[in-house]
C-alpha cells in the first residue's frame, strides 16, 4: 500500500483520520502547506488541476514534469522531505478541450494522463463527465465511465513502462467545473445514495476487464456532493443530518471513501464532521489563495502607514488595474453594477484574482512590498491593527515579523484547520455522534 492507501484504510477501520488536498500552484501557499505538514508530522498531498497544468502548459505555463520540479524545488528550500510529498492530478480528462469533437478532446486527454503519470503523479482523479462539441448533454453515465476506464488504461500502461508505483484513482464529479464555483441561490442538493451507487456500479462495470481489474482495487475514493460549496459572497455550511444517508451508504462499501470538493471556507467544526462522516479527502484551494490576498492587502495597508505614497508598492491598485485590463478570468463570473464588480474583483470568496498573481507587474509589486517591509519592519501596533493573528504569534516569539513569514502564517491558519480535522479528531465517530444526539433529544 502507498501511504495514501494506508491512511484511508485506517479511516475505514474506524479511525477518524483523513487527508486534505492543497489544489494550488501559488508559491507562498505551497510553502505554507509544507510548514503545516511539517508541524503536524503528516504527508502533504498537493494537486494540480487539468486547467492549471497540462501538456501545453495550462494557465500556469507548466507541464506536469515542470510542476513536479517546481514543487520539489520548494520542498528542498523548505527542508520538506520528498518522501512525504504526494502529487495528484484533479479533473483529468477532456475538460480543457470541451469545444472540440470528442475524438480530438479524448486524444488530448490520453496525452494528458500519460504526462501526469509519467511525471510521478500518484493520485489521479478521472473526470470525463463533461460533454464535448459533438456529445449529447448531459453525457450518459456509461460514456463517462467508459472514457474514464480508457484513461485508466493509459495510466496503468504508463506507470508500468516507467517502473513507477501504480496510481490510485478517484472517480465521480458532482462538483462545480474545475476553477469555477456554484451559485447557491437555488440551494444545494446532496448526492443521493442511489446516484452514488449508480456512479460506483457503472464505473466498476467499465473496469471489469482483465487489464483493469487490478486498477479497480486502487480506486480509493468517489467524488460526491456532501452539501458544501461557496459562491462569491456566501458559504453553504455542512449539514451532517442532510448527508447522513450518503454516509450510511458509504459504510456499506468496501475500501473507498468520499472525496469532498469545494470545502473552502467551511468552519473547522464542519471539517471535523466531514471527516467523521467518511468525506475523508478534503479539497481546498481558493480559501488558501484568499488568505494569501488578505495577507498581502494587510501588508500593503501597513506599508501605506509607514512610507510615502511614492515609495509604496500600491499592490491593491495594481491588482485592480491588471484585472480590468485582462478581464478574461472574472468577467463571465462576476455580475452587478460597477461598485459590486469592484468589490468582487478583490474580495469575492471565489477569488478569481488568484489567476493574476503570476502577472509580471504583480510579481514586481509583491517584490516591492516585501522589500519595503524588510527594510521597515512592521511595528507591533500596526500588526495588531491589520494582522491580529500574526501579531499574537510575533508577541509570543513564534513568528518573525518578516513579510514572507507573516503571509505564510496567515495562509497556515487556514490550512491548520484542515490538518487538525484530518487528525484523529475531536468530532468522535459517527456512532458516538449519533448517540450523543439521541441523548440530547432524550434529555430535552
**Residue 227, SS3?**
coil
Residue 10 within a domain:
yes
- Residues 258 and 337 reside in one and the same domain: no
Residue 302 reports pLDDT greater than 50 = yes
Predicted confidence at residue 183, as pLDDT, reads 58
Residue 409: CATH number of its domain:
1.10.400.20
Q: Name the helix (H) or strand (E) containing 220.
A: strand 219-224
Asked if 60 contacts 68 with a C-beta cutoff of 8 angstroms, the reply is no
- Residues 129 and 275 reside in one and the same domain: yes
Question: How confident is residue 440, by pLDDT bands cut at 50, 70 and 90?
Answer: very low
Domain total in the chain: 2
Backbone angles phi, psi at 283, to 5 degrees: -95, 135
| Continuous H helices in 79-192 | 102-118, 141-162
Burial of 185 (0-12, 13-18, 19+ CB in 10 A): exposed
Predicted confidence at residue 177, as pLDDT, reads 52
| Contacting residues for 403 by C-beta, under 8 A, at least 6 apart | 299, 369, 370, 373, 374
**pLDDT per residue as tens digits for the range 328-379:** 999 999 999 999 999 999 999 999 999 999 999 999 999 999 999 999 999 9
Q: Which phi-psi region, left, alpha or beta, contains residue 260 (left: φ > 0; alpha: ψ -120 to 50)?
A: beta
Question: How confident is residue 188, by pLDDT bands cut at 50, 70 and 90?
Answer: confident
Residue 27: CATH number of its domain:
3.20.20.70
- Identify the domain containing residue 365 by its residue range: 290-413
Predicted confidence at residue 178, as pLDDT, reads 54
**Global pTM exceeds 0.85:** yes
Question: How confident is residue 173, by pLDDT bands cut at 50, 70 and 90?
Answer: confident
- Residues 342 and 199 reside in one and the same domain: no
C-alpha 225/C-alpha 251 separation (Å) is: 17
Predicted confidence at residue 174, as pLDDT, reads 72
Residue 378 within a domain:
yes
Considering the chain, what is the average pLDDT of its residues? 94
Question: How confident is residue 56, by pLDDT bands cut at 50, 70 and 90?
Answer: very high
- Residues 257 and 395 reside in one and the same domain: no
- Residues 314 and 209 reside in one and the same domain: no
Q: Where are the beta strands (DSSP E) in 298-371?
A: none
Burial of 193 (0-12, 13-18, 19+ CB in 10 A): middle
Residue 202 reports pLDDT greater than 60 = yes
Residue 428 within a domain:
no
**pLDDT per residue as tens digits for the range 243-253:** 999 999 999 99
- Residues 277 and 163 reside in one and the same domain: yes
Amino acid at each position: 500500500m502507498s501511504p495514501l492507501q494506508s491512511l484511508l484504510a485506517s479511516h475505514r477501520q474506524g479511525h477518524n483520520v483523513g487527508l486534505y488536498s492543497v489544489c494550488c500552484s501559488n508559491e507562498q501557499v505551497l510553502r505554507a502547506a509544507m510548514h503545516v505538514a511539517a508541524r503536524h508530522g503528516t504527508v502533504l498531498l498537493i494537486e494540480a488541476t487539468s486547467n492549471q497544468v497540462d501538456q501545453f502548459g495550462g494557465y500556469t505555463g507548466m507541464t506536469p514534469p515542470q510542476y513536479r520540479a517546481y514543487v520539489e524545488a520548494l520542498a528542498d528550500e523548505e527542508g520538506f522531505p520528498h518522501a512525504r510529498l504526494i502529487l495528484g492530478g484533479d479533473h483529468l480528462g477532456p475538460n480543457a478541450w470541451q469545444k472540440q469533437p470528442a475524438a480530438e478532446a479524448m486524444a488530448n486527454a490520453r496525452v494528458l494522463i500519460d504526462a501526469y503519470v509519467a511525471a510521478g503523479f500518484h493520485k489521479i482523479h478521472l473526470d470525463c463527465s463533461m460533454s464535448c462539441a459533438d456529445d449529447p448533454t448531459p453525457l450518459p453515465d456509461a460514456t463517462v465511465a467508459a472514457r474514464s476506464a480508457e484513461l485508466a488504461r493509459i495510466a496503468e500502461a504508463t506507470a508500468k513502462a516507467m517502473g513507477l508505483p501504480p496510481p490510485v484513482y478517484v472517480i465521480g464529479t458532482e462538483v462545480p467545473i474545475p476553477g469555477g464555483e456554484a451559485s447557491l441561490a437555488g440551494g444545494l442538493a446532496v448526492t443521493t445514495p442511489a446516484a452514488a451507487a449508480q456512479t460506483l456500479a457503472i464505473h466498476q462495470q467499465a473496469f471489469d476487464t482483465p487489464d483493469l481489474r487490478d486498477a479497480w482495487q486502487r480506486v480509493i475514493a468517489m467524488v460526491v456532493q456532501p452539501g458544501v460549496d461557496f459562491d462569491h459572497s456566501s458559504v453553504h455550511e455542512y449539514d451532517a443530518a442532510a448527508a447522513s444517508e450518503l454516509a450510511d451508504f458509504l459504510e456499506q462499501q468496501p475500501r473507498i471513501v468520499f472525496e469532498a470538493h469545494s470545502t473552502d471556507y467551511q468552519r473547522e467544526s464542519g471539517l471535523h464532521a466531514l471527516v467523521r462522516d467518511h468525506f475523508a479527502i478534503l479539497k481546498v484551494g481558493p480559501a488558501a489563495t484568499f488568505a494569501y490576498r488578505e495577507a498581502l492587502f494587510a501588508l500593503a495597508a501597513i506599508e501605506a502607514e509607514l512610507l510615502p505614497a511614492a515609495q509604496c508598492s500600491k499592490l491593491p491598485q495594481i491588482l485592480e488595474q491588471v484585472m480590468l485590463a485582462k478581464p478574461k478570468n472574472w468577467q463571465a463570473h462576476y455580475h452587478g453594477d460597477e461598485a459590486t464588480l469592484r468589490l468582487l474583483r478583490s474580495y469575492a470568496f471565489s477569488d478569481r484574482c488568484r489567476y493574476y498573481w503570476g502577472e509580471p507587474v504583480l510579481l514586481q509589486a509583491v517584490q516591492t512590498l516585501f522589500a519595503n517591509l524588510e527594510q521597515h519592519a512592521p511595528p507591533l501596533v500596526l500588526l495588531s491593527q491589520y494582522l491580529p493573528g500574526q501579531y499574537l504569534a510575533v508577541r509570543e516569539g513564534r513568528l518573525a515579523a518578516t513579510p514572507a513569514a507573516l503571509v505564510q502564517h496567515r495562509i497556515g491558519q487556514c490550512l491548520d484547520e484542515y490538518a487538525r480535522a484530518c487528525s484523529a479528531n475531536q468530532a468522535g465517530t459517527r456512532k458516538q455522534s449519533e448517540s450523543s444526539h439521541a441523548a440530547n433529544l432524550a434529555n430535552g
